[in-house]
Amino acid sequence: MRKDVRILLVGEPKVGKTSLIMSLVSEEFPQVVPYRAEEITIPADVTPERVPTHIVDYSEAEQTDEQLSSEISKANVICIVYAVNNKKSIEKVTSHWIPLINDNTAKDSRVPVILVGNKSDLVEHSSMETILPVMNQYTEIETCVECSAKNLKNISELFYYAQKAVLHPTGPLYCPEEKRMKPACIKALTRIFKVSDLDNDGILNDNELNFFQRTCFNAPLASQALEDVKNVVRKNVIDGVCDNGLTLKGFLFLHTLFIQRGRHETTWTVLRRFGYDDDLELHQDYLFPLTLKIPPDCTTELNHNAYLFLQSVFDKHDKDRDCALSPEELKDLFDVFPYMPWGLDVNNTVCTNDEGWITYQGYLSQWTLTTYLDVQRCLEYLGYLGYSIISEQESQAAAITVTRDKKIDLQKKQTQRSVFRCNVFGDSGSGKSGFLQAFLGRNLTRQNIVSEEHMSYYAISTAYVYGQEKYLLLHEVFPDFDVLSDADMACDIVCLVYDASNPHSFEYCARVFKQYFMDTKTPCMMIAAKSDLQETKQLYSLTPLEFCRKHKMPPPQAFTCNTAGAPCKDIYTKLTTMAMHPHARLRCMCTCNRCTFCHLQNFINSELVQTVKAKLYTAILSRHVTQADLKSSAFWLRVSVGATVFAVLGFAMYRVLLKQR
């Protein structure tokens, strides 16, 4: 809605322009009329539309043509005043004033015009017969009002219509020559219908109509009023009502009827509630709310209510209930968008079914990815889907959670985040792309059928860490870089992939780690890809295992996507766990038999320890324990000594093994 309305009155001298303004302000006819009234401002609280209104007078005696042109360009609506008893002033409307106004306004943004027939108290006949052909000839003329400044007839109505012509213009909505709504209006109302059709059955049932009415007009329709509306549609439109609900055809007919009967404000109220501006484009303030501020080292995630909304949108369009969106279903979902937001690369970014259709999990993952990488784009998408309206929120910003600073997470040694970013580095041909696609459950056979042009450098899916569902976002970083960007450095964990069968592959990973991540607190993991091939000695000063030990990293993790079924996902769970707990310095979550953790596990289960344990048990607890023993301090002393010896022995072995590491 506009913040104010500027009304300009023009016309021939002595037709009563100034008298009309002064009669409106003083509510009586002025005895002395100046050449020109000063600009007046009517406060919002005394206008019908609750908008401040500026009324500007024009006087040929006091103003130049340049000043007139300037006022025309600034006006929101122009009232051409003529005297109903003066034929010359009526002729001047078409011969002078309308051409002058058109010359000073752009063709694609014509200013609405109101024809004002003043001095109706001086004649007994109406001028409407003369004016109607003029109104039919010029589409910019909104209406014609006959009034009298002397009798105060239709004075307030005149300025109300002028306000209405600005706030609820006919031009963008309706074509009077063809007597139908314009394509842009039909397109906007069609989107509104589809957003309001909560079950996507092509019909607005009573519950949906009441929700729509309450959303737009803050009041539900009475049952009888609802039936009356449907009866009007039934009588005028075939298929306007189906299964006792309003179809799109009936919905459009109702708004055409509102416009034809002069109730433009009804249609405009609906359009503006759903985010449209005067040009029937979705307003920037609606698509991109300014309330969201994202401090450095914070990320953006969807909250619980947003996921519930997106789930309902998915269910609404998954008509065959196969938990996947076919290309037709996906097209139907994005039909309320001005463009297709997801390209074919999305199918290689998230999980799909065997037919390549985005699954329910993949659908939510893609929304999570968009929110994390480009929250403004996510807000725009939610705006197209009508999130703020359907969820009854002030704006789409209510769907977003801004996580706290990562430094605070490290200090508190816990995180509230649900999305963790892993940047994947590796030399060309090391297997990075295969590593990303394997996360989506695709083995080498399925990866080979993916088109190169549709390949994605992102992969996102869920991983479970200690029973909690988290999102892991993998990002493949190009190997041919000179300096890493801030985006490449900003991640929760680094994954360094090398080809175990290529002797030159590991050197690249070692160089990246030492140059960029060795002195950071970002956890890193080394991946020995293509482990199904013959392992080759890496041509580097240290072996991968020695390099990891030196820099206190977990040992290299063997990985291959050349499997019969879906590749193993354990490695992704480990990455997510390390990203969640960077403060813990988790060095092992495996059974590699090479690291300290595994050595300790092997030691505890070794024959030596089991023998010592058995002998201690025999010496202390196996013999028959009498009631007197349980009361004897000597017995409990032996038990304590045995337990202490066992604990000291275990701790000593741990220190020895740790020193070796």
- Residue 254 domain-assigned (yes or no): yes
Domain total for the chain? Answer: 4
Please state the pTM of the whole predicted model: 0.80
Distance CA 302, CA 484 (A): 28
Instruction: Indicate if 490 and 522 belong to the same structural domain.
Output: yes
Distance CA 420, CA 299 (A): 10
Instruction: Indicate if 549 and 449 belong to the same structural domain.
Output: yes
Let me know: does 523 contact 531? Beta carbons within 8 Å.
no
Instruction: Indicate if 295 and 377 belong to the same structural domain.
Output: yes
Instruction: Indicate if 342 and 399 belong to the same structural domain.
Output: yes
Let me know: does 166 contact 2? Beta carbons within 8 Å.
yes
Instruction: Indicate if 393 and 418 belong to the same structural domain.
Output: no
Instruction: Indicate if 191 and 60 belong to the same structural domain.
Output: no
Distance CA 396, CA 399 (A): 6
Q: Which of 281, 315, 337 marks a domain boundary?
A: 281
- Residue 626 domain-assigned (yes or no): no
- Residue 650 domain-assigned (yes or no): no
- Residue 646 domain-assigned (yes or no): no
Helix residue spans in 339-405 (DSSP H): 360-373, 375-385, 387-390
- CB-side neighbour CA atoms (13 Å) of 122: 12
- Residue 637 domain-assigned (yes or no): no
| DSSP per-residue codes, 471-530 | EEEEEEPPS--SS--HHHH--SEEEEEEETT-TTHHHHHHHHIIIIITTSS--EEEEEE-
- Residue 591 domain-assigned (yes or no): no
CATH of the domain at 352: 1.10.238.10
Q: Residue 1: what pLDDT?
A: 57
- Residue 259 domain-assigned (yes or no): yes
Instruction: Indicate if 301 and 376 belong to the same structural domain.
Output: yes
User: How many helices (H) and strands (E) would you count in the chain?
Assistant: 28, 21
Instruction: Indicate if 213 and 190 belong to the same structural domain.
Output: yes
- Residue 622 domain-assigned (yes or no): no
Q: Residue 625: what pLDDT?
A: 56
Q: Which of 555, 580, 605 marks a domain boundary?
A: 580
CATH of the domain at 521: 3.40.50.300
Instruction: Indicate if 159 and 10 belong to the same structural domain.
Output: yes
Token readout for 463 is 């991983």
pLDDT digits over 106-116, tens only? Answer: 776 778 899 99
Residues of the chain predicted below pLDDT 50: 586-595, 597-598, 601-602, 661
Instruction: Indicate if 254 and 373 belong to the same structural domain.
Output: no
| DSSP per-residue codes, 559-602 | -----SSSPP-HHHHHHHHHHH-GGGT----S--SSSHHHHHHH
Q: Which domain holds residue 22?
A: 5-167
Count Cβ atoms below 10 Å from residue 207 Cβ, excluding itself. Answer: 11
Instruction: Indicate if 15 and 28 belong to the same structural domain.
Output: yes
Q: Which of 580, 615, 639 marks a domain boundary?
A: 580
Q: Residue 287: what pLDDT?
A: 94
Instruction: Indicate if 11 and 130 belong to the same structural domain.
Output: yes
